[in-house]
A and B are shown apart, each in its own frame.
Chain A
Amino acid sequence: SAVISQKPSRDICQRGTSLTIQCQVDSQVTMMFWYRQQPGQSLTLIATANQGSEATYESGFVIDKFPISRPNLTFSTLTVSNMSPEDSSIYLCSVALYREGTEAFFGQGTRLTVV
């Protein structure tokens, strides 16, 4: 498996501000993903972070709200822009690695509270 480090692990932010979450992997990976987990809910895929091109967003998520960077094969950032209390969630970075099949591995998550 890979070691996936996310920063920050938690933050409390004022509404209207933006927060950038970093995800660092200890090996080169082709596929990186960002998920959101709202309080008491399951995980929902926000977007696929593509190296060298724009991210691919899932229905209901837009680039203006969740801009993503992927400058190389080991690093990605997710920005949560113009935050409101509804953005309070855990944000998780994920990578896909091939072992027996294609398996997803997750960072420890960033717990965001917007006040």
Chain B
Amino acid sequence: GIQVEQSPPDLILQEGANSTLRCNFSDSVNNLQWFHQNPWGQLINLFYIPSGTKQNGRLSATTVATERYSLLYISSSQTTDSGVYFCAVGFNTNAGKSTFGDGTTLTVKP
């Protein structure tokens, strides 16, 4: 099956700092999403980004499908950004079945 590796596993930042989270995947995919899991366990959709670049406020993401990686950028981090960030990949022909990476645990300190 597809292997999904996320780095770094843990990240500690001061409020206001910027960060880059990486997701590498082992096979060509046409479905890639980034999620934020808050401390209560809720998974929040951040981006659907099988290729290209998207921005939403302080967050942006870039996927280079040909090189099998995706990056999530967080700028001017806030304490509410703390939590676990997951990358999930799959195929549209296998609609909805996702393989998740191990996540990056982000802690933003005030």
Which residues from chain A sit less than 8 Å from chain B, CB to CB? 1, 30-31, 33, 37, 41-45, 48, 90, 92, 94-96, 98-106, 108-109, 111
Of the A-B pairs whose beta carbons lie under 8 Å apart in the complex, a sample of 11, sorted by A's number, is: A31-B96, A42-B103, A43-B98, A96-B96, A99-B48, A101-B48, A101-B92, A103-B33, A106-B42, A106-B43, A111-B41
Q: Given that A1-B45, A111-B41 are known contacts, is A101 also in contact with B97, CB under 8 Å in the complex?
A: no
Asked if A96 and B43 sit within 8 Å, CB to CB, the answer is no
Asked if B48 and A103 sit within 8 Å, CB to CB, the answer is yes
Asked if B41 and A33 sit within 8 Å, CB to CB, the answer is no
Residues of A contacting B48 in the complex (Cβ-Cβ under 8 angstroms):
99-101, 103
Asked if B86 and A42 sit within 8 Å, CB to CB, the answer is yes
Q: Given that A100-B48, A101-B31, A101-B50 are known contacts, is A42 also in contact with B96, CB under 8 Å in the complex?
A: no
Asked if B96 and A95 sit within 8 Å, CB to CB, the answer is yes
Asked if B101 and A33 sit within 8 Å, CB to CB, the answer is no
Other than the given A94-B96, A94-B98, A109-B42, 8 more pairs (CB < 8 A) read A90-B41, A96-B96, A98-B95, A101-B30, A102-B31, A102-B96, A105-B45, A108-B40
Bound-state CA distance A17–B71 (Å) is 43
Bound-state CA distance A91–B43 (Å) is 12
Whole-angstrom distance between the Cβ of B21 and the nearest chain A Cβ? 14
Asked if B100 and A42 sit within 8 Å, CB to CB, the answer is yes
